[in-house]
């Protein structure tokens, strides 16, 4: 995956701290840091606002020591950073935020990026699933490469719009988008 997505770098992210648009996770320490579900959740939570270890422990329902360990791993990997501090009873409390809005993960040969995580996240057994918004579609089109690039940029922009939504409601939704070349043979252009 390329670092250049042709994005509007002037987006208002609605966060209480500044962050870059993209960071690459091609370094082994960054890639390894992304291999733990709790660390991925922490990275996701701080897209709402900067949080302390105590707040992250409450949101993840995990022991504070465990969360502190995972925060340190993310900081050491260069994916999380201290964005501000405050004094609480003579102790300096640190607020953590991501270094970038999007973490670009290298594609693994023979594997669809994030598909396992998506399948693990989908709650198909939810009793009220039929009453919740959601949907899936799968389509094919033979289009020029330039148009495919345009669609990739638009899909990527849609995901940024999605995560910029004000936090609320009682259901967390996930969005997975993909545009990919298929192994289907296109019909010759002169056939109807």
Instruction: Judge whether 188 lies within some domain.
Output: no
Confidence of residue 102 (pLDDT cuts 50, 70, 90): confident
CATH of the domain at 121: 1.10.10.10
Residue with tokens 């900081």: 75
Confidence of residue 52 (pLDDT cuts 50, 70, 90): very high
> What confidence tens digit (pLDDT) does each residue in 74-83 have?
999 999 999 9
For residue 43, pLDDT beyond 50 = yes
**What tens digit of pLDDT does each residue of 13-35 get?**
467 888 888 888 888 888 888 88
Long-range CB pairs of 143-149, under 8 A, 24+ apart, other chains included: 148/179, 149/6
Of all residues in the chain, what percent carry a pLDDT higher than 70? 87
The answer as to whether 25 is a domain residue is: yes
Place of tokens 């995972």: 70
Total number of domains in the chain: 1
Is there a domain that residue 174 lies in? no
Predicted local distance difference test score (pLDDT) of residue 190? 66
Q: In this structure, is residue 75 part of a structural domain?
A: yes
Is there a domain that residue 172 lies in? no
Is 42 within 8 Å of 70 (Cβ atoms)? yes
Beta pairing, strands 91-98 & 100-104: unpaired
Provide the domain limits for residue 131: 20-163
- For residue 186, the model assigns a pLDDT of 66
For the cut 90, the answer to whether the pLDDT of residue 90 exceeds it is no
- Tokens 């010759």 -> residue: 188
Confidence of residue 55 (pLDDT cuts 50, 70, 90): very high
Q: Give the pLDDT confidence score for residue 37 in this predicted structure.
A: 85
pLDDT over 60 at 50, yes or no? yes
With residues binned 3-state (H G I as helix, E B as strand, rest as coil), the percentages for the chain, rounded to 5, are 35, 15, 50
Q: How many CB atoms lie within 10 A of CB 17?
A: 16
Is 168 within a domain? no
pLDDT average, residue stretch 150-169: 85
In a domain, 109, yes or no: yes
For residue 57, being part of any structural domain is answered with: yes
Give the DSSP letter of residue 107.
P
CA contacts within 13 A on the Cβ side of 31:
8
Taking 50 as the threshold, does the pLDDT of residue 1 lie above it?
no
Spell out a b/e string for 44-71, using b for 16 or more CB atoms within 10 Å of the CB, else e: ebbbeebbbbebbbebeebeeeebeebb
Q: Which residue has the tokens 């994005």?
A: 7
């Amino acid at each position: 995956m390329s670092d250049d997505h042709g994005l509007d770098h002037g987006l208002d992210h609605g966060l209480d701290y500044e962050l870059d648009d993209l960071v690459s996770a091609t370094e082994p320490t960054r890639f390894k840091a992304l291999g733990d579900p709790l660390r991925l959740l922490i990275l996701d939570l701080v897209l709402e606002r900067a949080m302390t270890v105590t707040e992250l422990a409450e949101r993840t329902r995990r022991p504070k020591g465990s969360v502190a360990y995972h925060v340190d791993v993310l900081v050491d990997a260069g994916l999380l950073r201290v964005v501000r501090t405050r004094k609480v009873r003579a102790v300096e409390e640190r607020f953590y935020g991501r270094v970038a809005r999007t973490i670009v993960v290298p594609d693994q040969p023979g594997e669809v990026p994030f598909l396992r995580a998506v399948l693990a996240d989908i709650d198909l057994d939810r009793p009220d699933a039929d009453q919740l918004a959601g949907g899936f579609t799968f389509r094919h089109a033979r289009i020029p490469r330039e148009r495919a690039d345009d669609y990739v940029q638009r899909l990527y922009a849609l995901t940024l719009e999605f995560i910029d939504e004000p936090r609320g409601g009682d259901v967390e939704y996930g969005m997975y988008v993909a545009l990919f070349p298929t192994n289907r043979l296109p019909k010759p252009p002169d056939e109807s």
